Structure 1
Amino acid sequence: MTASGVVGAVVFGLLSAYFPPLNAEIYAVAAPVIFPDLWVLHVSAMTGGLVVGKVTHFIAAEKGAEAFVKRREEKEARTAAKSRRPRGAVRERLARWSKSMIDVLDRPRLGPLVILASSGVGFPPLAVVTVAAGIKGISLTLFVVVTTIGCLARFLITSWLVVQGIQLDF
């Protein structure tokens, strides 16, 4: 039962990397309830699957960076020609802040902090940061280590909070 649960955790993490509606936080919330004695193992396995999935995105972005940049420039040229509907002030501010965070990914100290914030807090979105890090040529080792630390911390804290709620009988 434990082995199949751990394999299921890895598969869930992998699938959540490719299918965003299959949210990894759902697993982090459910693991302590389903596996009360082994939730740390299951959450860690799910995180491993998620990071492996993100690594495939990173590598694909790294290998296809030139084609991606070309398509992006063409799309931006077409979009600039069309009129855009106005955005709200908060949404515009978040978009500018997210873009400025992604722009510093290739800096030696700030880049890892952006990856850590993305994987640990979720802003800017990890899917966007993963692709941007691949395109900007960030070290794969650095990306894996920082992403694993951030995601693992986020999911373990989420699960731990559920355990605390269960113990308090909420």
Structure 2
Amino acid sequence: MTASGLVGAVVFGLLSAYFPPLNAEIYAVAAPVLFPDLWVLHVSAMTGGLVVGKVTHFIAAEKGAEAVMKRREEKDARTAAKMRRPPGAFRERLARWSKAMIDLLDRPRLGPLVMLASSGVGFPPLAVVTVAAGIKGISLVLFTTVTMIGCLARFLITSWLVVQGIELSL
């Protein structure tokens, strides 16, 4: 029962990385109720699955950025003489915000803090930070380590609060 529950926890984490409505916080809240003696282990397994899913996003963004840059260079060479239309206001704001985020991730001290805040409290959104970190070429080991620490802390604290609520009601 425990092994299948742990496999289920990992699968839930993986699926929540790919399917946002399947929220990892739901598992963190439910784990102490479903597995009162092993909730720490289950939450840790779910977090591992989530981080593995985020790592795949990171790698895809990293590889995609390389391909996009190559295509962009080729396109720029072909269309250097053509005039481009100015971007819309929304596009411009999104581009500025994305650039600021990516620039911040590139800083040796602030980058890991942004990743830690994103994984630990959910702001800025981890999905955005994951892609930006992959595009920027942040170290995969650094990304994985910081994201694992932040997510594990967030989910364990969430579960611990549920345990405290259960104990108070008894």
Q: TM-score range by the shorter chain?
A: 0.7 to 0.9
Q: Cα distance 1:133–1:3, how it changes in 2: closer, same or farther (>3 A)?
A: same
Deviations 1:124-145 (A, max 9, x none): 1000000000000000000000
TM-fit CA distance, 1:98: 7.9
Q: Cα distance 1:98–1:64, how it changes in 2: closer, same or farther (>3 A)?
A: closer
- Residue 5 of structure 2 is matched in structure 1 by 5
TM-fit CA distance, 1:12: 0.1
Runs of 4 or more consecutive aligned structure 1 residues displaced over 4 Å after TM superposition: 67-71, 96-99
Deviations 1:34-64 (A, max 9, x none): 0000000000000000000000000000011
- Trace 1:37-48 onto structure 2 (pairs within 5 A): 37-48=37-48
| TM-score, scaled to structure 1 | 0.83
In the aligned structure 2, how far is the partner of 1:5 from the partner of 1:34?
Answer: 10
In the aligned structure 2, how far is the partner of 1:162 from the partner of 1:44?
Answer: 16
Q: Does 1:23 align with 2:27?
A: no
TM-fit CA distance, 1:68: 4.6
Q: Cα distance 1:28–1:138, how it changes in 2: closer, same or farther (>3 A)?
A: same
SS where residue 168 of structure 1 aligns? helix
Provide structure 2 residue ranges, at least 5 long, that are not aligned to the other structure. Answer: 73-83
Count of residue pairs brought into register by the alignment: 155
- Trace 1:3-152 onto structure 2 (pairs within 5 A): 3-68=3-68, 80-81=87-88, 100-152=100-152
Provide structure 1 residue ranges, at least 5 long, that are not aligned to the other structure. Answer: 72-76, 85-91
Q: Which amino acid aligns with 1:19?
A: F
Q: Cα distance 1:67–1:120, how it changes in 2: closer, same or farther (>3 A)?
A: same
Deviation larger for 25-34 or 97-106? 97-106
